[in-house]
């Protein structure tokens, strides 16, 4: 979408950082050597990981965001993060650590359980209702995505995110809190409608955890309220700019600009205020959920709400939205390539994590 924005000054096509990470790094390094840029701000998990791990390659040519890789890994790796969170007193889903599946199965108290890739974000999450299903999916996912964790399933009683910017001294300087109102799937996934709220308890949990790992930079700390006991439980940290960024901006917190100032070592004054009750909608995603949602009238009344803004629709900059709607029609092979990418048996990113690449 960004390719077609009127605010985009220059457009480059790079190798896929997910399938060809070394080629991507070489391309990016050559780009910053040949042109003068202030900084690189990654907005995808794969590119953020690659830049954090290879900061030394770029440091003499361009500024790279914080934190250092050792800190980044504590948020990126779910196994490390959950162990730190549990020691810090943060309530998490019951998690079964270890690589021995038989040992994990012996300690599981009840099904369903969830399998998550430990060192991958935005990758598939498997829900298993039996031991047989767990064995099959665990073996498939570890082969495709590397080390995985098994957790108890948390019935969805509400999903919340604490969105923040921490300075170089690991102190918070900007904040919003968002509640997911609608998602692509009934049990979670990408949000299509969300609202800014106040929740001091979640903010305290998130800040405590981020300070514990000595975080600096942007982060989203995700919680899910357990429908059984109404207790919010830590899901993960998203260690980059988030998909619902427009809601933060609409609520008065310009995270990209503040982030840029921090990267360039300019002063960022602490201001944890934001507008409560702002609502933002991912229009194309929300319309996909229309047929599956029973509250269809709500979709139309949303348009009449004066507090709603949009992730992907702007009258001042309309082409990104238009392209997002027509691109699957214009490029019918997209789904085929996406499916091949998601089902790669050889996982270059995982190989890079485990040290196959230098």
Q: What is the CATH number of the domain that holds 252?
A: 3.30.470.20
Q: Are residues 193 and 122 in the same domain?
A: no
Q: Are residues 124 and 216 in the same domain?
A: no
CB-based contacts of 213: which residues, under 8 Å, 6+ apart? 71, 74, 75, 81, 84
Q: Are residues 125 and 272 in the same domain?
A: no
pLDDT for residue 97: 86
Rounded (to 5) percent helix, strand, coil in the chain: 40, 20, 40
Positive or negative: CA dihedral 152, 153, 157, 160? positive
pLDDT for residue 185: 74
Q: Are residues 136 and 171 in the same domain?
A: no
Q: Are residues 170 and 284 in the same domain?
A: yes
Q: Are residues 276 and 230 in the same domain?
A: yes
Structural domain count of the chain: 3
Structural domain harbouring 121: 94-152
Domain final residue, candidates 274, 290, 312: 312
Q: Are residues 173 and 205 in the same domain?
A: yes
Chain segment 10-40, per-residue pLDDT in tens: 999 999 998 899 999 999 999 999 999 999 9
Q: Are residues 134 and 112 in the same domain?
A: yes
Tell me if 81 is assigned to some domain.
Answer: no
Q: Are residues 146 and 161 in the same domain?
A: no
- State the pTM of this model: 0.88
pLDDT for residue 188: 66
Q: How far apart are CA 169 and CA 337, in angstroms?
A: 43
pLDDT for residue 19: 87
Residues of the chain with pLDDT under 50: 330-358
pLDDT for residue 329: 53
Q: Are residues 268 and 282 in the same domain?
A: yes
Q: How far apart are CA 95 and CA 103, in angstroms?
A: 13
pLDDT for residue 186: 67
Domain final residue, candidates 152, 169, 197: 152
pLDDT for residue 284: 83
CB-based contacts of 210: which residues, under 8 Å, 6+ apart? 164, 166, 170, 172, 219, 221, 237
Tell me if 296 is assigned to some domain.
Answer: yes
CATH of the domain at 140: 3.30.1490.20
Q: How far apart are CA 61 and CA 38, in angstroms?
A: 9
pLDDT for residue 123: 67
CA 49 to chain CA mean position, Å: 12
Q: Are residues 127 and 160 in the same domain?
A: no
Chain segment 255-310, per-residue pLDDT in tens: 999 999 999 999 999 999 999 999 999 888 888 777 777 777 777 777 677 778 99
> 344 to each of 9, 20, 133, 141, 323, how far by Cα in Å?
34, 12, 21, 11, 28
């Amino acid at each position: 979408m960004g390719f077609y924005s009127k605010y985009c000054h220059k457009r480059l096509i790079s190798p896929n950082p997910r399938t060809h990470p070394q080629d991507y790094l070489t391309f990016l390094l050559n780009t910053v050597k040949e042109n003068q840029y202030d900084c690189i701000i990654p907005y995808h998990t794969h590119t953020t990981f690659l830049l954090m791990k290879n900061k030394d390659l770029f440091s003499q040519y361009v500024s790279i965001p914080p934190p250092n890789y050792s800190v980044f890994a504590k948020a990126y790796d779910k196994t490390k993060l959950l162990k730190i969170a549990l020691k810090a007193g943060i309530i998490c889903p019951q998690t079964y650590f270890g690589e021995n599946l038989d040992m994990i199965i012996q300690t599981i108290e009840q099904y369903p359980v969830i399998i998550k890739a430990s060192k991958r974000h935005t990758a598939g999450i498997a829900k298993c209702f039996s031991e047989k299903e767990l064995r099959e999916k665990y073996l498939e996912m570890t082969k495709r995505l590397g080390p995985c964790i098994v957790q108890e399933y948390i019935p969805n009683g509400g999903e919340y995110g604490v969105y923040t910017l921490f300075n170089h001294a690991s102190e918070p300087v900007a904040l919003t809190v968002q509640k997911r109102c609608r998602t692509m799937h009934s049990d979670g996934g990408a949000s299509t409608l969300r609202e800014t709220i106040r929740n001091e308890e979640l903010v305290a949990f998130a800040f405590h955890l981020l300070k514990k790992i000595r975080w600096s930079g942007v982060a989203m700390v995700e919680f899910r309220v357990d429908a059984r006991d109404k207790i919010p439980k830590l899901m993960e940290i998203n260690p980059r700019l988030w998909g619902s960024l427009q809601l933060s901006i609409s609520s008065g917190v310009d995270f990209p600009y503040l982030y840029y100032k921090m990267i360039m070592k300019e002063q960022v004054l602490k201001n944890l205020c934001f507008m409560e009750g702002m609502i933002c909608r991912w229009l194309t995603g929300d319309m996909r959920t229309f047929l599956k949602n029973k509250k269809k009238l709500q979709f139309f009344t949303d348009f009449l709400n004066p507090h709603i803004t949009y992730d992907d629709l702007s009258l001042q900059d309309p082409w990104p939205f238009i392209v997002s709607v027509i691109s699957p029609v214009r490029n019918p092979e997209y789904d085929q390539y996406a499916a091949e990418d998601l089902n790669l048996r050889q996982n270059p990113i995982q190989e890079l994590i485990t040290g196959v690449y230098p």
